[in-house]
Structure 1
Amino acid sequence: PFSYDKRRPLALRLGAARTQGGVVRQPLSFDAGHGSKAGFWTHPDGSGPWPVVLFSPGSDGTARSQLPDADRLAARGIASLTLDPPARLTTCHAQADLRTYVAYVVGRRRALDVLGKLPDADTHRVAAVGFSFGAAVTAALAGVDHRLRGAVIQSGRAHLSAPLGAYCRSAAYRRAFGAVDPVKYISRAAGTTFLFQNGRADPISPQADVDALVRAAKGPKEQRWYDAPHELDAQARDDSDAWLARLLA
């Protein structure tokens, strides 16, 4: 379901860049395949090429949510692309929400295409970070698009359909959304190394379903638990930064 027309123009537009504290931030927009997508291209001051991390936030996140992560990575010599998710991810209308989810993943595939047009982006050293809802999207992305060297799956689980079905109070919704559960796609990832990060005090991600996602990943992988809630903590962020720096060195 995550295929797309690679010939469709990206219509990339770059705004004015601003530099602060050795970090350059530039707004951008492009055709994500199902409408325009806005976000930020963040990179170290100076010349590249830089490895790149593609971010996907949680269900209530925006292109700004993971800018603190992008700033920390810039200090390590890594560029980042942070992007808005689609609007209204969960309406409790199963077919509409499935279309939105597919558009989210396709938009991230188009974002990987955009990297080839961004100045000083090293398209051979690319990783992705997904948090919560974005973790499911990132797991699917790794399974269907094999341009990722690695991916950090934060507060993810095997079956996104479970919390969504509970939220919508609908077994039918859960069955329908189960068609795109991340556990069905992460096993198809090729050449991708994974870091799974979860909090022991996270009520949304039970350990059994987290472990099921980790088991499904076939390549090199590492799983870390934290004494933290769904949002994780500073230690998890430090670990992710260091892991990405090693992976993309």
Structure 2
Amino acid sequence: MKLSHYLLLYCLGFILAWQSAPAQIHAAQEQLPLHLFTYDKTLPLAYHDSLMDTQQGVRIYQIAYASPLKGQVTGLLFVPPGPGPFPGILLQHGAPGSALAQTPRGLYLARHGAVVLATNAPFAQRGGDPLQFTLADSVDQVRYIINLQRAVDLLLRRPDIDTSRLGYVGRSYSGSMGVLLAGIERRIKTYVLAVADGGFVSHFSSTTALTGDQLSLEGPARKRWLAAQLPIEPIRFIHRTPGAGLLLQSARQDEAVAAADAEALHRAAPAGTLIKWYDAGHRLNAQAYLDQLAWFHQQLGTRAAGPGDEQGPAFPAPPSAQKRP
């Protein structure tokens, strides 16, 4: 059965329960649909790469591997000089965004002694709007998490990686998706989740959404979308994340994530989670990236920040301001 058909049946059941028995659905929401994120780990990776560039001693490869749900996952791999073994870090982009746009961050981390894998989210590969406000959004979300678990399989199979030292860093959209991944994936030791909220439902809530981000769907379409998204809303999974291995970074002047949503995520996080606020907007500031280096140095044994790191990654000039989930 196709993933979209499976999710449709699941969500129809969710809607019926919601309409007919509110008390039962409240109880059902306590039961996480972990089965949606399982996949056949014996499938071949069909991995291939090609050297694209070398910068600051870091080799940059274009990569692709097979998704367990058919098709390919594409991205970039950053390999530092030397034989290793190195920590492995999964680096994910926001929405809209792409793996290629993560090149400055990939170099920044790889220069400190980590193999960095940046993959494209499903919307980045298909093109178009990241969100369609249909059942396709929940299908994409499940597909993304399965593809990220497969990315962990890839890292674990590399001989130059210390399999006990895996990390994840994501911002905005991939910060929220990192919450979901951390609630499912047990092989990653530590997570850095920057300017994240609780997920799409939290982000587009009519009571907390920033101006222009309110959910515009009405009637049955609204009910279908919410019923599909609520079971896999990342904040519902955060209690399963590794508290002492979790760093949440938020911005006081964030123009894309409401402070109330960030604070709700913080409150739901397990004991031991480190929470840091910055006097910055959604793009954060140099101190946030220095804190990420310090965190991975502590958690994974990467090299500490040094001279030349004070300005953070060498990002290009920002485009004209635009909201993104």
User: TM above 0.5, one fold?
Assistant: yes
Residues 58-102 of structure 1 show CA distances to partners (whole Å, capped at 9, x for unaligned) of 111111122211211122111200111112531111x11100011
Residues 3-62 of structure 1 show CA distances to partners (whole Å, capped at 9, x for unaligned) of 111122111112136433211111110012232011111121121110011012111111
Which structure has more strand as a fraction of its residues? 1
Residue 144 of structure 1 aligns with which residue? 184
Q: Does 1:194 align with 2:246?
A: yes
Shift of 1:229: 1.2
Residue 221 of structure 1 aligns with which residue? 273
> Of the candidates 270, 281, 288, which is equivalent to residue 236 of structure 1?
288
Shift of 1:205: 2.1
Provide TM-score, normalisation by structure 2: 0.72
Q: Does 1:89 align with 2:130?
A: yes
Cα distance, 1:55–1:192 mapped onto 2, change above 3 Å: farther
Q: How many residues are treated as equivalent by the alignment?
A: 248
* Letter of the 1:30 counterpart: Y
> Of the candidates 127, 132, 135, which is equivalent to residue 175 of structure 2?
135
Residue 79 of structure 1 aligns with which residue? 115
- Percent of paired sites with the same residue: 32
Partners of 1:86 and 1:192 in 2: CA distance? 30
Matches within 5 A, 1:98-117: 98-117=138-157
The DSSP-based 3-state class of the residue aligned with 2:192 is strand
Shift of 1:244: 1.2
Residue 23 of structure 1 aligns with which residue? 58
Shift of 1:152: 0.6
The DSSP-based 3-state class of the residue aligned with 2:117 is strand
Residues 123-150 of structure 1 show CA distances to partners (whole Å, capped at 9, x for unaligned) of 2100101111101111111110111111
Residue 56 of structure 1 aligns with which residue? 92
Query: Retained in 1: the 8 A contact 2:50–2:61?
Result: yes
Partners of 1:20 and 1:130 in 2: CA distance? 22
Provide TM-score, normalisation by structure 1: 0.92
Residue 2 of structure 1 aligns with which residue? 37
Partners of 1:7 and 1:78 in 2: CA distance? 27
Residue 160 of structure 1 aligns with which residue? 200
* Letter of the 1:193 counterpart: G
Residues 171-212 of structure 1 show CA distances to partners (whole Å, capped at 9, x for unaligned) of 433453222111111211247611111111113322232122
The DSSP-based 3-state class of the residue aligned with 2:183 is helix
Query: Retained in 2: the 8 A contact 1:161–1:175?
Result: no
* Letter of the 1:89 counterpart: P
The DSSP-based 3-state class of the residue aligned with 2:37 is coil
Query: Retained in 2: the 8 A contact 1:53–1:80?
Result: yes
The DSSP-based 3-state class of the residue aligned with 1:16 is strand
Residue 216 of structure 2 aligns with which residue? 169
Partners of 1:15 and 1:84 in 2: CA distance? 16
The DSSP-based 3-state class of the residue aligned with 1:137 is helix
* Letter of the 1:160 counterpart: F
Gaps of 5+ in 1: none
The DSSP-based 3-state class of the residue aligned with 1:65 is helix
Partners of 1:163 and 1:190 in 2: CA distance? 23
165-174 vs 154-163, which moves further: 165-174
Shift of 1:159: 3.8
The DSSP-based 3-state class of the residue aligned with 2:146 is helix
Partners of 1:91 and 1:63 in 2: CA distance? 21
> Of the candidates 151, 157, 165, which is equivalent to residue 125 of structure 1?
165
